[in-house]
């Protein structure tokens, strides 16, 4: 089914006549609006057009009557008090038939409100469809399955974090068709009880009823055990929320400071000791060569000058020594003019290279100056910088602890909150212990039910076979009993056969969406109780508590996606606030994987913060139609514009 058009007249926040025309060829329809602008009202209009009083939105509402529910949607802005919703749809792409359903009502009466429904097929009024629309639409999309296709992301988030999954189990039974069998079996049981009153002396019937009663009692005990578990899980959820609240109060009131006070005081003492030791290090450095960094240029110059002075002295001493040797040499070699010339040259060079002495450093002084220049000052500078950095670090930490300890704390109140925390923690521990006992009780009740069912199935056939059917009432009773037995057996086998396929489909859907693909390897369902288990690669159970809120929500969406797939119905999917409580990775998984594949038409109702510019770009290639809901404070009403939050949208 494809929704071609939805028109709302004076409906909810939509004043006057507002129409959504869906003409795009791509699967996604994106409708944007801020909170309170009419997104959920759109979903309610679709449900109302299709199902009227059978809409799950009405069934879940707090209204006592359907008339009150209708009146709540009447927009009174134009004074007419007239309202209608009209939806045009095409059942499938291969069929050219176009259906239009219109529901209209008013608030003219003071108390009573009733609706008028009109149905058209291919532009012509259909008396048959108008009179039998409920039956017709139930064949297309049973109302019990509608929450697989039209759902609120916020409710999905609540269902994901709630340990009670009875609602989901009922939905699964509806998808499997078992709820229909239950209804039929109830009708048969009503007929059987009527016939039994007319044949109260029939021994075989009484024996069958005795076996059935035993089975039904076991089934009721199993149901009660499951209800006890659900109630205990709800209690555990409430206690867990209370504990988180108390812990937040404890932290906000300074409980962490009280708890850590002794530790912080010890830490402050240790830091103060380190600070004193570091100050002594700084004093030692100040008494060493470190201050000479201030005259580093002078020391560098002294070292270089001292080296030059030393070299000049060495040259002068060498020249004097050579000259004394030459004087000895001349006594025996008077005609060696070349040697004389060399000696003269040496004297000249020595005199030219003489450096004016400034520092006149000794050998030790020159060595110390060179050491200061090349190593010592660099090392002392590094040590000084490190000591100064430690000084600042220790001081900052001490100040931080002082600020932490200076918080004004009502220690008496903190102690009360702490006592509440301990009590709540004990209650949670007791709850978990009770749950273990209740799980054992449920397992025992389930075994008793299976045993009673087996006993009933084993004996009822023989009893029914031996029944005397010498009159019509007894014959009706016998075959009603046989039909009830067959229905019971058929529902069990149907559930067992389809659950395996459903589990595999849920697993496949989840793996397409999940980021941590190694966390859950398989999702399986118990063929009798419909309990869901998450298994890792080793076949071990992954507890639900180990999953994040986003992962739990993904699992619920995977279940809904799988249920929609297994229903074999090609129907539109409408998702209100789809990305609630999800992180960016999970949002991308829904946008890129689920939305394009969910259906031939996926209508998404989102705020600008859920699907923002980045996510819009990721899904743009799959968007066929896009609208924005614009709210006017002057008229207190919403109007529709094309485009997803265009620049000129209010």
pLDDT higher than 70, residue 581 = no
Burial (0-12, 13-18, 19+ Cβ within 10 Å), 375: exposed
pLDDT higher than 90, residue 213 = no
pLDDT higher than 90, residue 550 = no
Residue 329 confidence (pLDDT): 63
Question: Which candidate, 481, 478, 459, places its Cα nearest to that of 470?
Answer: 478
**Multiple choice CATH, 203-252+415-466, 1.10.287, 1.10.3470, 2.40.10, 1.10.150:** 1.10.287
CATH class of 1-141+571-650: alpha beta
Residue 205 confidence (pLDDT): 58
Task: Please state which of the ranges 110-119, 315-324, 424-433, 523-532 shows the lowest mean pLDDT.
Answer: 315-324
pTM: 0.57
Return the HEC string of 546-607. HCCHHHHHHHHHHHHHHHHHHCCCCCCEEEECCCCCCCHHHHHHHHHHHHHHCCCCEEEEEC
Rounded Cα gap, residues 408 and 461, in angstroms: 79
Q: Which residue has the higher pLDDT, 485 or 242?
A: 242
Residue 650 confidence (pLDDT): 39
Beta bridge partners of 625: 29
> For residue 360, what is the DSSP state?
-
CB distance 32 to 607 below 8 Å:
yes
Rounded Cα gap, residues 277 and 38, in angstroms: 69
Question: Which candidate, 86, 100, 93, places its Cα nearest to that of 25?
Answer: 93
pLDDT higher than 80, residue 348 = no
pLDDT higher than 60, residue 180 = yes
Residue 333 confidence (pLDDT): 60
Residue 649 confidence (pLDDT): 41
Long-range own/partner contacts, residues 168-175 (CB < 8 A, 24 or more apart)? 168/556, 168/559, 169/530, 171/144, 171/145, 171/147, 171/563, 172/502, 172/525, 172/530, 172/563, 173/495, 173/530, 174/142, 174/144, 174/145, 175/145, 175/148, 175/502, 175/563, 175/566, 175/567
pLDDT tens sequence across 517-545? 667 888 888 777 777 888 888 888 887 77
Tokens of 174: 């509806």
Residue 164 confidence (pLDDT): 42
Rounded Cα gap, residues 295 and 303, in angstroms: 12
Residue 378 confidence (pLDDT): 81
pLDDT higher than 90, residue 370 = no
pLDDT higher than 50, residue 161 = no
pLDDT higher than 80, residue 58 = yes
CA distances from 618 to 46, 507, 516, 582, 589 (A): 27, 25, 21, 17, 11
Q: Please work out, in degrees rounded to the nearest 5, the angle formed at the alpha carbon of residue 491 by the alpha carbons of 489 and 496.
A: 95
pLDDT higher than 90, residue 119 = yes
In degrees and rounded to multiples of 5, residue 365 shows phi and psi of -65, -40
pLDDT tens sequence across 238-296? 888 888 888 877 777 766 666 666 677 788 888 888 888 888 888 888 888 878 878 87
Q: Around 217, how many Cα atoms within 13 Å sit in the side-chain half-sphere?
A: 8
In degrees and rounded to multiples of 5, residue 518 shows phi and psi of -90, -5
| Report for 40-54, 159-173, 225-239, 303-317: range of highest mean pLDDT | 40-54
pLDDT higher than 50, residue 608 = yes
Rounded Cα gap, residues 596 and 600, in angstroms: 8
Residue 476 confidence (pLDDT): 66
pLDDT tens sequence across 407-424? 666 677 778 888 888 898
Residue 455 confidence (pLDDT): 75
Q: Please work out, in degrees rounded to the nearest 5, the angle formed at the alpha carbon of residue 603 by the alpha carbons of 602 and 609.
A: 120
Tokens of 389: 């950095």
Task: Please state which of the ranges 82-91, 382-391, 484-493, 611-620 shows the lowest mean pLDDT.
Answer: 484-493
Burial (0-12, 13-18, 19+ Cβ within 10 Å), 109: exposed
Burial (0-12, 13-18, 19+ Cβ within 10 Å), 116: exposed
Rounded Cα gap, residues 368 and 323, in angstroms: 34
Q: Which residues of 516-553 are buried (b: 16+ CB within 10 A; e: fewer)?
A: eeebbbbbbbebeebebebeeeeeeebebeebeebbbb
* Average pLDDT, integer, range 81-108: 88
Task: Please state which of the ranges 126-130, 341-345, 386-390 shows the lowest mean pLDDT.
Answer: 341-345
Residue 410 confidence (pLDDT): 67
Residue 340 confidence (pLDDT): 66
* Average pLDDT, integer, range 159-181: 62
Rounded Cα gap, residues 108 and 451, in angstroms: 60
Beta bridge partners of 6: 20, 87
- Sequence-separated (6 or more) residues with CB below 8 Å from residue 365: 306, 359
Burial (0-12, 13-18, 19+ Cβ within 10 Å), 112: exposed
| DSSP per-residue letters across 259-300 | HHHHHHHHHHHHHHHHHHHHHHHHHHHHTTTGGGGGGHHHHH
- Sequence-separated (6 or more) residues with CB below 8 Å from residue 240: 428
- Sequence-separated (6 or more) residues with CB below 8 Å from residue 385: none
Conformational region of residue 85, where left means phi above 0, alpha means psi within -120 to 50, and beta covers everything else: beta
Q: Quick one: angle between helices 178-198 and 166-176, nearest 10?
A: 80
**Residue 193 pLDDT class (50, 70, 90 cuts):** low
Q: Which residue has the higher pLDDT, 10 or 147?
A: 10
CATH domain 163-200+481-568 topology: Rossmann fold (3.40.50)
Rounded Cα gap, residues 530 and 537, in angstroms: 22
Residue 642 confidence (pLDDT): 92
Q: Please work out, in degrees rounded to the nearest 5, the angle formed at the alpha carbon of residue 489 by the alpha carbons of 483 and 495.
A: 130
Tokens of 8: 């709302």
Residue 546 confidence (pLDDT): 74
Q: Please work out, in degrees rounded to the nearest 5, the angle formed at the alpha carbon of residue 167 by the alpha carbons of 89 and 500.
A: 85
Q: Around 390, how many Cα atoms within 13 Å sit in the side-chain half-sphere?
A: 18
* Average pLDDT, integer, range 49-64: 88
């Amino acid at each position: 089914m494809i929704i071609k058009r939805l028109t709302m007249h004076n409906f909810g926040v939509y004043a006057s006549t507002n129409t959504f025309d869906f003409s795009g060829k791509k699967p996604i329809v994106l409708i944007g609006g801020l909170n309170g602008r009419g997104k959920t009202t759109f979903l309610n209009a679709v449900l109302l057009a299709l199902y009227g009083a059978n809409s799950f939105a009405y069934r879940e509402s707090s209204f006592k009557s359907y008339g009150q529910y209708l009146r709540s949607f009447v927009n009174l802005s134009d004074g007419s008090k007239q309202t209608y919703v009209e939806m045009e749809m095409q059942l499938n792409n291969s069929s050219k038939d176009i259906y239009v359903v219109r529901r209209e009502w008013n608030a003219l009466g003071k108390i009573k409100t009733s609706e008028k429904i009109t149905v058209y097929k291919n532009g012509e009024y259909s008396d048959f469809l108008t009179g039998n629309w409920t039956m017709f639409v139930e064949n297309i999309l049973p109302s019990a399955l509608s929450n697989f296709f039209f759902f609120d992301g916020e409710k999905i988030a609540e269902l994901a974090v709630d340990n009670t999954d009875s609602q989901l189990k009922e939905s699964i039974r509806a998808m499997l068709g078992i709820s229909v069998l239950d209804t039929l079996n109830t009708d048969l049981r009503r007929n059987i009880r009527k016939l039994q009153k007319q044949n109260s002396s029939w021994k075989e019937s009484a024996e069958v009823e005795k076996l059935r009663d035993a089975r039904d009692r076991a089934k009721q005990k199993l149901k009660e055990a499951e209800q006890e578990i659900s109630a205990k899980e709800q209690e555990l959820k409430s206690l867990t929320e209370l504990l988180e609240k108390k812990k937040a109060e404890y932290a906000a009131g300074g409980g962490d400071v009280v708890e850590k006070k002794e530790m912080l005081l010890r830490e402050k003492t240790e830091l103060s000791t380190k600070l004193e030791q570091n100050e002594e290090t700084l004093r030692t450095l100040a008494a060493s060569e470190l201050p000479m960094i201030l005259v580093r240029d002078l020391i560098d110059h002294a070292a270089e000058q001292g080296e030059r002075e030393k070299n000049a002295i060495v040259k002068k001493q060498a020249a004097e020594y050579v000259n004394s040797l030459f004087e000895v040499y001349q006594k025996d070699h008077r005609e060696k003019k070349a040697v004389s010339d060399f000696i003269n040259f040496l004297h000249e060079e020595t005199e030219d290279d003489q450096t004016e002495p400034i520092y006149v450093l000794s050998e030790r002084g020159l060595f110390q100056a060179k050491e200061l220049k090349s190593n010592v000052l660099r090392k002392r500078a590094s040590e000084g910088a490190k000591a100064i950095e430690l000084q600042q670090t220790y001081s900052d930490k001490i100040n931080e602890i002082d600020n932490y300890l200076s918080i004004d704390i009502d220690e008496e109140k903190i102690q009360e909150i702490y006592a509440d925390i301990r009590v709540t923690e004990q209650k949670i521990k007791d709850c978990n212990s009770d749950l273990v006992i209740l799980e054992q009780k449920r397992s025992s009740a389930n075994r008793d039910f299976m045993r009673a069912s087996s006993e009933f199935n084993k004996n009822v056939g023989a009893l029914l076979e031996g029944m005397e059917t010498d009159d019509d009432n007894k014959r009706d009773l016998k075959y009603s009993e046989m039909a009830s037995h067959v229905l019971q057996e058929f529902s069990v086998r149907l559930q067992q056969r389809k659950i395996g396929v459903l589990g595999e489909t849920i697993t496949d859907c989840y793996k397409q969406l999940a980021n941590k693909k190694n966390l859950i390897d398989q999702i399986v369902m118990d063929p009798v109780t419909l309990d869901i288990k998450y298994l890792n690669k080793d076949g071990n159970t992954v507890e639900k508590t180990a999953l994040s809120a986003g992962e739990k929500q993904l699992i619920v969406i995977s279940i809904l996606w799988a249920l929609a797939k297994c229903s074999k119905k090609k129907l539109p999917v409408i998702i209100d606030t789809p990305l609630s409580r999800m992180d960016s990775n999970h949002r991308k998984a829904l946008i890129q994987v689920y939305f394009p594949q969910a259906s031939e038409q996926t209508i998404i109702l989102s705020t600008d913060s859920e699907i923002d510019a980045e996510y819009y770009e990721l899904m743009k290639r799959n968007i066929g139609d896009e609208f924005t809901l614009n709210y006017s404070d002057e008229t207190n009403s919403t109007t529709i514009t094309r485009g997803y939050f265009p620049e000129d949208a209010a």
